[in-house]
Amino acid sequence: RAKLEARGAFRFFEPEMDARIQARRLVEQDLRAALAAEAFELHYQPIYDLASDRICGFEALLRWNHPTRGRVSPAEFIPVAEEIGLIVPLGEWVLRRACDEASRWPDGIKVAVNVSAVQFTSASLVTAVRDALRNSGLPGRRLELEITESVLVANPGATTAILHSLKGLGVRVSMDDFGTGYSSLSYLRSFPFDKIKIDQSFVRDLGGPNGTDFIVRAVIGLGDSLGMTTTAEGVETEAQLATLRAEGCDEVQGYLFSRPVPVEDVPAVIRRWNGAIQRAIA
Ligand code: C2E
Ligand code: MG
Ligand code: MG
Ligand code: MG
């Protein structure tokens, strides 16, 4: 009987695994071609400052328009790009494009760029950032880099040195998806981050029966005492916004304000929120 079950399991899993490996191989091939064909673009999601009630920046989010599959999620292709060593050239393309596009925005508006752990500790990151700033003319103070906790765990020594070099360029660095990784609180204290981004999983459950309000409150308090800005991700409702405001969160980002938009829509988003007629919110 055990044998039968095992065979059943075998028959059930094998074609599925095969399909997955094949799909991955396709993604690999297509990714390499896409970088050459410029099939990528950046969409931008506004980051809203609660003290001034204005948009203070945009996060650049990578989009891949696949010839047959349509839009593929970065959650799917970034890990593959990391594995096949394509993340460094791809990440450098993102940096260049984001700095070029942001250099045409009003001076008060920053741009935030996600940097993968693999790219962050690559030898060329600091040079790539310096070049992207120089070639675009974007001042370093208008660029923020977002990294996740996995960077710290993988290579704490190198990370400190890189963070200090970036600060030398005037660039700010944020800890993305805070609370979802494996880093300890002592990491936060020992690395010179400018900002903590509270992961959307904690924002989603604000005010619920298994509410994460106490976690969000604790992270905001932590940010305050370490002199770091706190940004909440994934804000979708007025109720979440009201709670975040009451808790003293500095910045918010989410579908409540805007989905990520193509670059040509950025001026309209800025006008809508920062224009003369301001929408009163919460
Ligand atoms: P992330 O950096 O934490 O970006 C936030 C993600 O949440 C984005 O998903 C954004 O579209 C989504 N989001 C924003 N507001 C809301 C909301 O109100 N509700 C919900 N449910 N989602 C919201 P996206 O664009 O699919 O990106 C997923 C992840 O892929 C990013 O997470 C980031 O880790 C990675 N990624 C995106 N672009 C790049 C890139 O250029 N380089 C690297 N290395 N990673 C990137
Ligand atoms: Mg991010
Ligand atoms: Mg995030
Ligand atoms: Mg604060």
Distance 1 CA to ligand 3 centre (A): 47
Ligand nearest to the CA of 86: 1
The H or E element containing residue 204 is helix 200-204
Quote the CA–CA distance of 24 and 80 in Å, as a whole number: 8
**Residue ID of nearest Cα to ligand 1 atom 42:** 114
Quote the CA–CA distance of 234 and 43 in Å, as a whole number: 16
The stretches in the chain having pLDDT less than 50 are 1-10, 277-278, 280-282
Quote the CA–CA distance of 96 and 14 in Å, as a whole number: 42
pLDDT for 14 equals 63
Q: Which atom of ligand 1 is nearest to the CA of 116?
A: 44
Q: Give, for ligand 1, the residue of 233, 240, 253, 259 to mutate: max count of ligand atoms closer than 8 Å to Cβ.
A: 233
| Backbone φ, ψ for residue 172 (5° rounding) | -100, 155
**Residue ID of nearest Cα to ligand 1 atom 2:** 114
Q: Using a 6 Å CB cutoff, which residues line ligand 1?
A: 45, 61-62, 73-75, 78, 91, 94, 114-116, 146, 176-177, 200, 233-236, 254-255, 260
Q: Give, for ligand 1, the residue of 43, 61, 76 to mutate: max count of ligand atoms closer than 8 Å to Cβ.
A: 61
Bridge partners for 230 per DSSP: 196
**Residue ID of nearest Cα to ligand 1 atom 12:** 234
Contact by Cβ (8 Å): 55, 49: yes
Ligand nearest to the CA of 194: 4
Q: What pTM was computed for the model?
A: 0.91
Give Cα 198 distance to the centre of its chain. 11
Distance 45 CA to ligand 1 centre (A): 9
Q: Which atom of ligand 1 is nearest to the CA of 197?
A: 3
Distance 177 CA to ligand 2 centre (A): 7
Q: Which atom of ligand 1 is nearest to the CA of 119?
A: 44
Which distant-in-sequence residues (6+ apart) come within 8 Å of 277 by Cβ? none
Which distant-in-sequence residues (6+ apart) come within 8 Å of 162 by Cβ? 120, 121, 125, 126
Quote the CA–CA distance of 238 and 23 in Å, as a whole number: 40
Backbone angle region of 79, left / alpha / beta, with phi > 0 → left and psi within -120 to 50 → alpha:
alpha
Distance 25 CA to ligand 1 centre (A): 24
pLDDT for 12 equals 53
